[in-house]
Structure 1
Amino acid sequence: MEKSASTLIFICIFLSTLFLFRCIKKQKRKSMHKAKLPPGSMGWPCIGETLQMYSMDPNKFFATKQKRYGEIFKTHILGCPCVMLASPEATKFVLVTHAHLFKPTYPKSKEKLIGPSALFFHQGDYHSSLRKLIQSSLSPNPNTMQKLVPDIETLAISALESWAAAGTVINTYHEMKKFVFDVGFLAIFGRLDDSYREKLKESYHIVDAGYNSFPTNIPGTAYQKALLARKRLSQILRQIICERKEKKILQKDLLGDLLNFQNEKGQNLTEDQISDNIIGVLFAAQDTTASVLTWILKYLHDNQNILEAVKAEQKAIYDANDGYKRPLTWAQIRNMPLTHRVILESLRMASIISFAFREAVVDVEYKGYLIPKGWKVMPLFRNIHHNPELFPGPQNFDPSRFEAAPKAYTFIPFGKGVHACPGNELAKLEMLILIHHLVTNFRWEVVGSQKGIQYGPFPVPQHGLPARFVKEQVNP
């Protein structure tokens, strides 16, 4: 009898809970149904507003939309319906507090060239554990710094001297890409055999050239050439991996960390997973860091008073090291406050990563608006960085604005949350080292028009900032 009563009570509780759950679910659906799409225009069928965006400065396109519709608006670009969000609160919502409702998304054409196992195509345990490993490997610290800095210094001095020795006008952005690529190689492979280095460079540059081209398999096109070069990259990387395994080479670099990685089940990464992540790191680092360095040179060139102050800061370090007789130390690099603020202000002004690209995995309601499942969601970093209420006089280059830390989620140069750039500290390191050697021993002159921005896809000064570099004799 007692058993029957207990069973009956259990059934009643179960049915009550089920009924309550359905009521909540029904109410949630009703609430979601009441939510409306954000204001905005979807443009023409199929093409949406893509042509409008590319017929003008994309930044002006988004700024005009925000001025008309507010900080939440809809549009249709690149073949996708999108919801744009231009506030720090929305950025926090999408990238941090409710990140599980949005997944990173990339065109399949780009995924093929980088590799499907690359870090930024994933979520969950694989992404989390791999991101920690890559961030740890690429984050300079006092223990690894003195080993890394002299080699980066050598690369920086070599690059600067080659630009000056040329005696001609160079494309600053293209030359910065070469320097950043060499630093990336150093962080990934350590000291790599020259034959491997040249083969990897050759194939990688073909992939890079086809990355933003129209995706087609028609023979002879840039994209088809890139696909073939990507296969060659995998083959070369497999050879390097096999050689390390056979010779039991132990090197403290990213490749070594990837080879030693084991998940919770004790499984190692496959060669394809290692290759995809190496290529992913190269892609993530090269264009973005090279773009920032190019803008830094332009902003310093255009603001001579700030340049002179940076020179004074770096000259004190130069003198302390008896010129270049001793390499920079961790303490010196960590004590370049003005130069560091110049980098931060350059990141804000240029906003190389103008937005994050996410996709709603379920219907989401935000501030009374519906973000339908499958729609792209784009927090607009540049709009936030250029909001005069957050950064007064946003068009003025003013490093002093970073003397105090900016408010949370108002400064997002490397993204936020679990998908923030894991190599941002290495990027800052190579910027600081290059700037040190640039301003203490060289001068540069920008040639031609100093206005205009080009996109490829990241913003860079017009024509890659043509400039002439001259080596100077520093007074003792």
Structure 2
Amino acid sequence: MYWSVWCCVVSLFIASIIHWVYKWRNPKCNGKLPPGSMGFPLIGETIQFFIPSKSLDVSSFIRKRMKKYGPLFCTNLVGRPVVVSSDPDVNHYIFQQEGRLVEIWYLDSFARLVGQDASQSTAAAGYVHKYLRNLVLAHFGTEVLKDKLLSKAEDMIRTRLHDWSKLPALEFKTCVSSMVFDFTAIELFSYDMKKMGENFSERFTNIIQAVASFPLNIPGTTFHKCLKNQKEAIKLIRDVLNERKVSPESRKGDFLDQIVDDMKKEKFLSDDFIVLVMFGILLASFETISATITLAVKLLIENPLVMQELIEEHDAILKNRENSNSGISWKEYKSMTFTHQVINEALRLASVAPGILRRAIKDIQVNGYTIPAGWTIMVVPAALQLSPDAFVDPLTFNPSRWKDMGVGVVVKNFIPFGGGSRLCAGAEFTKVLMTTFFHVLVTNYRLTKIKGGQIARSPALTFGNGLHINISKKHG
């Protein structure tokens, strides 16, 4: 009898496990799900997603599934059901549905790093989003770039390149990351390197490693180390905020001062909210810019004809300048046609963000499939920007392709700054920093690659053991 009871218990247990696995692999849907696999229970296909691909091409995880299932497929990452899209028309439609069918969303790793609860809606109300966008544009938009930031960026870049030229070699991305971070932090909250410590930017460089990592918070994991760096960075930013609030003499007239002033009239501006806004801006800005500049420099070194054309454009600007000692003017910046083509090509190839995420608010019908409400939608920029259907020889570094690029191709297949109403407010700031960097670099210095620079996607763009180069002055 006992044996019969035991067999019954075991049978029920096995049946419940089988039922649970079946439900995992066949999620509920009021329609037809896109093809794909949900992977193993709990972890889904997360392990495969994070396996590095040693290529500039779309990650092997995405590429293999696009080949097997097509441009729209379902999977499960870090325990969450996801529909991955490399269809330009579907992506364009999704971006246009902000606030109606979709809302902004983060993977658990990034949500926890910026202090969001991924189990709740992370979509900012329309008013809050509009406020933040306007605030960013007021401090980093076109008019400020024209009047102030362009010249400040040039001065900072000249100083850094001069310092780097004294070194026998440098790990390029680390140095560029520090430069971009420092400049952005100064404009945000008058960052004082001596007061906050020179390794403040290093903490953010470490944090970025966790954005696309499995959110396993136990000692020894990458995510655990990054959370520790995040807490330290958050504390430093909070200390600056507290100082501004209690000491009027500490005011600098920067981004932080403006948002502190607005606390008096905007109820949503709590201390926690402000700290996370500052943290998020720093995290989002410096990695995209530094990774793209690093890739561009690597490709320019490897393509001397492109480098020569870039040098000629900037030498011509110097020759046409009335005052040889003056800095870059806004008119000169806008006239750098080939430089902008180089930047577009670097942004296209870099595809720094492994995915742009949205969450379905309601069931969405696309291409005969249903994306269930609550599911995450991942738009993969690399799958669009490296598509042979949109770009001839997509893995080739060819800035000249942008001379006659059709508007339709750009709108749906080139999304380095996102899409829809969430288009990055810092896009022009990014382009100005990159353009100014290339101007100072190619008119004053020579580059020699020493070692490294092996490209990989894991799934974010990385450079192996780093790109080590020598920067030497052209004159004297």
- Give yes or no for TM over 0.5: yes
Q: Which shows bigger deviation, 106-115 or 392-401? A: 106-115
Task: For 2:289 and 2:34, locate their aligned partners in 1 and report how far apart those are by CA, in whole Å.
Answer: 34
Map of 1:470 onto structure 2: 472
Query: Larger Rg: 1 or 2?
Result: 1
Deviations 1:17-59 (A, max 9, x none): xxxxxxxxxxxxxxx9773111223333333333333345262
Q: Is the 1:117–1:273 contact (alpha carbons within 8 Å) kept by the matching residues of 2?
A: no
Aligned-residue CA RMSD in angstroms?
A: 3.1
User: What TM-score comes out, normalization by structure 1 length?
Assistant: 0.82
Question: Displacement, 1:455?
Answer: 4.0
Q: How many angstroms apart in 1 are the aligned matches of 2:345 and 2:48?
A: 29
Tell me what 1:417 maps to: 420
Query: Structure 2 CA distance, aligned partners of 1:429 and 1:128?
Result: 24
Structure 2 equivalent of residue 67 of structure 1: 67
Residue range with higher mean Cα deviation, 134-143 or 394-403: 134-143
Opposite residue 65 of structure 2, the aligned amino acid is: K
My pick for the range that moved more, 432-441 or 381-390, is: 381-390
Q: Report the equivalent of 2:31.
A: 35
What displacement does 1:326 show?
1.4
How far is the alpha carbon of 1:172 from its aligned partner?
Answer: 1.3
Distance in 2 between residues matched to 1:148 and 1:40, nearest whole Å: 47
The secondary structure found in structure 2 opposite 1:305 is helix
In the TM superposition, 1:313-324 aligns within 5 A as 313-321=313-321
Q: How far did residue 309 of structure 1 move?
A: 0.8
AA at the equivalent of 2:367: K
Match of 1:459 in 2: 461
2:287 maps to: 287
**CA offsets, 1:404-433, max 9 Å, x none?**
354121211111022222212111111011
Q: Does the Cα contact within 8 Å between 2:204 and 2:283 map onto a contact in 1?
A: no
Matches within 5 A, 1:253-272: 253-261=254-262, 266-267=266-267, 269-272=269-272
Q: How does 1:246-257 map to 2 (within 5 A)?
A: 246-247=247-248, 251-257=252-258
Deviation at 1:219, TM superposition (A): 6.2
Report matched runs for 1:328-367 at 5 Å. 328-367=328-367
5 Å-filtered alignment, 1:434-453, equals 434-448=437-451, 452-453=454-455
Distance, in Å, in 2 between the alignment partners of 1:72 and 1:221 is: 32
Matched AA of 1:471: K
Q: Whole-Å Cα distance in 1 between the matches of residues 395 and 440 of structure 2?
A: 28
The question of whether the paired residues in 2 share the 8 Å contact of 1:318 and 1:324 is answered with yes
Q: Structure 1's 294 and 203: CA in aligned 2 closer, same or farther, altered over 3 A?
A: closer
Q: Which whole-Å deviations, capped at 9, do the CAs of 1:152-206 have from their partners, x for residues lacking one? A: 12221222222221112x2211111111111211321247474146485476566
- Give, in whole Å, the separation in 2 of the partners of 1:47 and 1:214: 9
In 2, the alpha carbon distance for the partners of 1:224 and 1:81 equals 24
Alignment of 1:90-129 (within 5 A): 90-97=90-97, 100-116=100-116, 121-129=122-130
Describe the shift of the 1:190–1:449 C-alpha distance in structure 2 as closer, same or farther (beyond 3 A). closer
Measure the CA separation in 2 of the matches of 1:290 and 1:425.
15
CA contact (8 A) 1:345 1:398 kept: yes
CA contact (8 A) 1:115 1:280 kept: no
Contact 1:196 1:236 in 2 (8 A): yes
C-alpha separation in 2, matches of 1:205 and 1:380: 23
Contact 2:98/2:420 (<8 A) preserved: no
Alignment partners' CA distance in 2, 1:157 and 1:458: 29
SS state at 1:463 partner: coil
Looking at structure 1, the residues matched to 208 and 68 of structure 2 have their Cα atoms a distance apart, in angstroms, of: 37
TM superposition shift of 1:441: 0.8
Amino acid paired to 1:281: I
Instruction: Assess if the C-alpha contact under 8 Å between 2:74 and 2:82 holds in 1.
Output: yes
| Structure 2 partner of 1:47 | 43
The residue matched to 1:40 in structure 2 has which SS?
Answer: coil
8 Å contact from structure 1 (residues 138, 426) kept in 2: no
- CA displacement 1:314-352 (0-9 Å, x = unmatched): 112233457872121111111111001100011111211
Q: Report the alpha carbon displacement of residue 249 of structure 1 after superposing the two structures with TM.
A: 6.0
Cα pair distance change 1:392/1:249, threshold 3 Å = same
Amino acid at match of 1:298: K
CA contact (8 A) 1:385 1:410 kept: yes
Distance 1:49 1:206 in 2: 25
Distance 1:395 1:415 in 2: 21
* Deviates further, 346-355 or 401-410: 401-410
Mean Cα deviation higher: 84-93 or 45-54: 45-54
Sort the Cα spacing of 1:456 and 1:289 in 2 relative to 1 into closer, same or farther, 3 A: farther
CA distance in 2 between counterparts of 1:46 and 1:159 reads 47
> Percent same amino acid among aligned pairs?
28
Q: What is the CA deviation profile of residues 68-112 of structure 1, one whole-angstrom value per residue up to 9, with x for unaligned ones? A: 222212223333222111122111121113653222222445334
Is 1:314–1:436's contact at 8 Å kept on the other side of the alignment? yes
Change (3 A) 1:96 1:348: same
- Kindly tell me: are residues 406 and 236 of structure 1, through their superposed partners in 2, closer, same or farther at Cα, counting changes over 3 Å? same
What letter matches 2:130 in structure 1?
S
Aligned equivalents of 2:199, 2:469: Cα separation in 1: 30
Does 1:427 find its partner at 2:430? yes
**Corresponding residue number in structure 1 for 2:134:** 133
Partner letter of residue 74 of structure 1?
Answer: C
Distance 2:82 2:470 in 1: 43
Return the TM-score normalized by structure 2: 0.82
Task: Name whichever of 377-386 and 134-143 sits farther off.
Answer: 134-143
Query: Per-residue displacement from partner, 1:141-161 (whole Å, max 9, x unpaired)?
Result: 345534222321222122222
1:173–1:460: 8 Å Cα contact kept in structure 2?
Answer: no
Total equivalences in the alignment: 439
Q: Unpaired segments of 5 or more residues in structure 1? A: 1-31
For 1:413 and 1:253, the matched residues in 2 are separated by 27
Which residue in 1 is equivalent to 2:12? none
Indicate the residue corresponding to 1:10 in structure 2. none
* TM-aligned CA distance change 1:409 to 1:217, over 3 Å: closer
Cα distance in 1, alignment partners of residues 271 and 114 from structure 2? 14
Alpha-carbon distance, 1:292 to partner: 0.3
